Amino acid sequence: TAVTSMMFLKKAFCSLTVNSRPLTALARRTNKGAGARNLSSTVTSSIEADKEALALSVDDNGFATILLNRGDTFNTFSDQVIARYVEVLTELESMSGVRGAFVKSTGKFFCAGGNLKWMKNSVNLTRDENIADALHLSHMLAQFDSLPFPTVGFVQGPAFGGGVGIISCCDMAVAVKKAFFTLSEVKLGLIPATISPFVVAKIGAHQSRRFMLTAENIPSDTALRIGLINEVVDDEEGLLEWEENLKKQLTVVGPQSCANSKLLINNVANKPIDEDLMQYTAEMLAEQRCSDEGRTGLAAFFNREPAPWNNTQS
């Protein structure tokens, strides 16, 4: 019977070990996240956050909105704004039941990069002070990139520098036709250093060599072609429609499965397919099969029932 088959599958999956070693992949994920939080907290602990720069809200279905709320100053970065990002991201990490986080902006610009006053002040810092200052942004981006649920950028206007970095940290992004993207640092005699790991991971070294070295504007259709964004829509109404459709899709997927798939992608990308990698993927699969979500998801599938996390009406 189907019930007997499921009992056999559960027993087989959960008795699985690899070379008689304990399965440790999820422990590695937990430790990685804690390290990112500790680094960010240490670096930004002495900086007063700009509470008005970002607003956080979560709807009844577990979808969070991170709203860049300084449209009057083009949603630019400063050390106080970065500290606020860390606050918001840390609060999200502490929440249970988050199904996804959507990044949006007020005003005409998605994010115009660094605040001019902040950048001007960096000239007067020592080398060590500049390193510490840059680490504020680096640690925040790493924390953003490792959030354990889908993250989506909704780009309603131009993005420069660090704004492109935020989009690159998102798991997916959609932009209006009029939006464009610029890695403008070299125009100022600077380099896109802190955002580079995330941008290069998103669009590759080949495209990065062009757009980081020329600082040319990247139109939305080109951004789509090179993989910076996932889709282009006509206007902000199209962004709202895309959001609603995405929410429906994310509601049917297992939250833990999403988190571990995201970790899996990060850990297998550009790695050689060797015994260590195969060991890692085997451990990840074994742990997910033995998890409550894996068990209940398979049981629901074989019983032709909706999974418990699927609260869609259809």
Task: Provide the 3-class DSSP secondary structure of residue 182.
Answer: strand
- Amino acid identity for residue 2 in this structure: A
Distance CA 45, CA 40 (A): 8
With beta carbons less than 8 A apart as the criterion, state whether 22 and 57 touch: no
- Residue in this structure with the two tokens 């993250």, named with its chain if needed: 151
- The model's pTM is 0.84
List all residues 6 or more positions away from 40 whose beta carbon is below 8 Å from its beta carbon.
Answer: 86, 89, 90, 139, 140, 142, 143
- Comparing 119 with 195, the larger pLDDT belongs to 195
Walk across the sheet containing 172-176 and list its strands: 54-58, 63-68, 100-105, 151-155, 172-176, 231-233
3-state secondary structure of 79: helix
pLDDT tens by residue, 197-233: 999 999 999 999 999 999 999 999 999 999 999 999 9
Give 175's strand partners: 155, 232
Residue 39: CB partners within 8 Å, gap ≥ 6? 135, 139, 142
> What is the C-alpha end-to-end distance of the chain, expressed in Å?
28
Q: Tens digit of pLDDT for each residue in 168-206?
A: 999 999 999 999 999 999 999 999 999 999 999 999 999
Q: Give the bridge partners for 65, in sequence order.
A: 57, 102
pLDDT, position 16: 36
| Mean pLDDT score, 276-286 | 96
